[in-house]
Amino acid sequence: MDQWLTGGAAKGRNSACRGEWMTGRSLKGGGGAGILSQIGTKARLVGSAAAILAALAPASAEAAAFYLQQQSVRGWGRANSGEVADFGPASLWWNPAAIARSESSASFGITGFLPVGEVRDLGTTIIRPGFAPAPVGGIPSLDDPIERGAAPNGAIALRLSDRLALGLVVAAPFAFISDYDPAGWQRYSGIRSRVTTFDVQPSIAFAPTDWLALGAGLNIEYADAFLSNALPNLAPGSPDGRLRLEGDGIDLGWSAGAQLTPSEGLTFGISYKSAIEHQLDGMVAIEGLTGALAARNLEADTTAEFTTPWQLIMGARARAREGLTLNVQAVRYGWSEFDAITLGAPLNGAIRQDYKDSWGLAFGGDYEAGKRLTLRAGVQLDGTPTRDASRDPRVPDGDRIDYNVGASFALSERMTIDAAAALTDFEDSAISRDERFYAGTAAQTDVLTNGEARNQRAIVIALGGRMRF
């Protein structure tokens, strides 16, 4: 927590105290008359799509750290390779230029997440004032702390002319739930962590030439978060106190991109999604502290500020031969923006997160197996932005590999269904994060977290469709 409760964050092994506020590892994006006619008749479709997706609040998700990259069923079938260089609303999240020459059409889907794994204690200790270091106690091994869930995605494009289009993406780009037994060894680092986000991205795209398309979008992002963890009392064996933090808020970012098609069957794409500076307004509650700590119990309004990562996305699609297209995509994530969480009164402090910038790299292909059937496959290497020296149980993240397959079947000229599935394999990762509660006072209590996340895997299944109007 903050200096008032835990003394803030220290560097090195004694880095970043707990009581986090935010997501995952802490808690708290033709002619004039003809154009007007199209907007008037099809705006209702945009509103309907947004309303439907808004009702499908994401339950949980998995991706590097707490980013949810499954924003298109078609794209997930090939591990998101080449999305920045593909066309239509299914690629609009990755590149606003993707709809510049698109027909009026829509893409929609839902993704289910089925994670498994184990988080175990390797010798976590607690140091109370006046006592020797002692084992923290509690359940030493916990299975499947990341909750299963589902998240929606959808996008729509409205063609205004051969070279001009409007678009709208509705996405849940950051979503995460971890839930531990309150009697577990990790309880002082975290018990329950939840974040859900809802991002609406209105976009515009224009093709000034036959080989160039440009696009831009505004990201309107709502974030809602909750956190809880135990607080140590001073007497060994005494019941723990409890901290709860929750809040929400809406903030803005932007996206911009370009696509180049130098020859038929070859497209390059590049885009940038800005970081978003979030401020969550909410409340903090501390209860169950006794004795000399009882004065710290409270319930009050508070705020938290944090920044989500920027993304630089580059990729290409190339027709290798008739019916076969190869795809590649690289994403640079600016996770170093998420270096600290600033807490307002009455907590007043900054919690260091020490995330690092990371890379994602994907390769894949599309094969037209018939007039109606397209098959896909891909592999993605996704590096974690968390560090071994400061990783906590809230997001027991590690480097991962995604193995993806997918298919599309055209029901008619206007309607196509998409399906995709992936196995995500995580590298085992250390959990090493020290907490300093009531730092700088006679009650200072240190918890030296030492654990491991192991045998983590996830099956990710997606189903959706695309339609032309």
pLDDT of residue 65: 75
Structure tokens at 435: 């907490």
pLDDT at 398 over 50: yes
Cross-strand pairs, 277: 307
pLDDT digits (tens, 9 = 90+) for 273-306: 999 999 999 999 999 999 999 999 999 999 989 8
Q: What is d(CA 457, CA 439) in angstroms, rounded to the nearest whole number?
A: 37
pLDDT at 15 (0 to 100): 34
Question: Is a pLDDT exceeding 60 seen at residue 199?
Answer: yes
Write the pLDDT tens digit of every residue in 350-385. Answer: 777 889 999 999 999 999 999 999 999 999 999 999
Residue 10's pLDDT band (boundaries 50, 70, 90)?
very low
Residue 229 — very low, low, confident or very high, per pLDDT cuts 50/70/90? very high
- Tell whether the torsion through CA atoms of 276, 282, 284 and 285 is positive or negative: negative
> Cα separations (Å) of 220 from 43, 50, 57, 149, 277?
18, 13, 16, 23, 11
Residues paired with residue 230 on neighbouring β-strands, in sequence order: 242
pLDDT digits (tens, 9 = 90+) for 81-94: 999 999 999 999 99
pLDDT number for residue 342: 82
**CATH number listed for the domain at residues 32-468:** 2.40.160.60
pTM: 0.87
Confidence band, pLDDT 50/70/90 cuts, at residue 39: very low
304-338 confidence digits (pLDDT tens) = 898 999 999 999 999 999 999 999 999 999 999 98
Nearest CA to 296 among 368, 243, 357?
Answer: 243
In this structure, the number of other CB atoms found within 10 A of the CB of residue 411 comes to 11
End-to-end CA distance of the chain: 52
CB atoms within 10 A of CB 208: 10
Residue scoring higher pLDDT (383 or 38): 383
- Asked if the model's pLDDT at residue 45 lies above 80, the reply is no
Residue 25 has pLDDT above 70, yes or no: no
Q: CB neighbours of 250 closer than 8 A, spacing ≥ 6?
A: 220, 221, 222, 223
